[in-house]
Structure 1
């Protein structure tokens, strides 16, 4: 074998080895690129899922917030309507006249009178009811009109001797009836 043949064999071997290394490098590069593309797809899919979760969470929060605002608005509207109804009832009660007003005033005074034994019982009432109360009190021994009380009607009765005060105003009766029947009133209004 001549030296040229050996050199040529070594060169062929080197070329083959270089080709082999190049093929391995290209194969490894393709694997790296493939892994990188796969990782990029996974990252992209995860990012898309995260965006979808964020969008869904934002949608849920917005929907929940809107529902809460709507509920608060409904409750406020109901409160306002109940307040309007109560105001209308108060106006109706305050506007009672004649025999009906006298009948109710006497009934409230009768209930209050049960708490008192003796003389010097003072009765207070609405300023507009002074004449009515003075006439009614003629039927009650020891009872006298003592002045006005800011109310829709009815009586406030007190006595220093017994240290008792009874508030039997239309307002107090209305407040009690309103409180006791608020659920039914609300159910009737908002069926």
Structure 2
């Protein structure tokens, strides 16, 4: 073998070896690139899922917040309407006249009188506009006297020092009891759903 043949064989072997290395490099580069693309796709999918989840959470929070705000406004409006109804009832009670006012006042005084013993000195207070009415009614009771006015819509406040009892039978107190006992029913009637 000549030197040229040896050189040629070495070259061919080196070229073949270089070709194998290049092919291995390309295969390895393709594997790395494929793995990187796969990782990138996975990272992108995870990021998209996280963004969608965050969007859903924000949407849910905003929806919940809007629902809560709407509920609060509805409750405020209901409270306002109930307040207006209460004021209208108070105005009606304050405006009662004649036989109706006298009958209610008599019933409230009679209901209060059972709390006092015979012989007690009983003081009766009421609305200043009802003074003449109250004076005529208390004349029918022994030991009772009209003692002055109290700020109320009508009715009576009755007290006795001997019994140490004070009974508030004003229209206001009766309305308060009735209002509290029937608030749910009033609300249901006003806001039927």
TM-score range, shorter chain: over 0.9
Give the TM-score of the pair, scaled to structure 2.
0.97
Residue 187 of structure 2 is matched in structure 1 by 186
1:34 to partner: Cα distance: 1.1
Residue 48 of structure 2 is matched in structure 1 by 48
Q: Report 1:73-92 matches (<5 A).
A: 73-92=73-92
What RMSD over aligned residues (CA atoms) do the two structures have, in Å?
Answer: 0.8
Q: Distance in 2 between matches of 1:119 and 1:16?
A: 131
Q: Which runs of 5+ in 1 are unaligned?
A: none
Residue 27 of structure 1 is matched in structure 2 by 27
Q: Report 1:1-191 matches (<5 A).
A: 1-117=1-117, 118-191=119-192
Give the TM-score of the pair, scaled to structure 1.
0.98
Q: Distance in 1 between matches of 2:114 and 2:20?
A: 119
Aligned residues: 191
1:23-46 per-position Cα deviation (integer Å, ceiling 9, x unaligned): 110111111111111111111111
Runs (4+) of structure 1 exceeding 4 A deviation are: none
1:107-145 per-position Cα deviation (integer Å, ceiling 9, x unaligned): 000011111122321000011111110111111111001
SS at match of 1:156: strand
Q: Distance in 1 between matches of 2:169 and 2:120?
A: 19
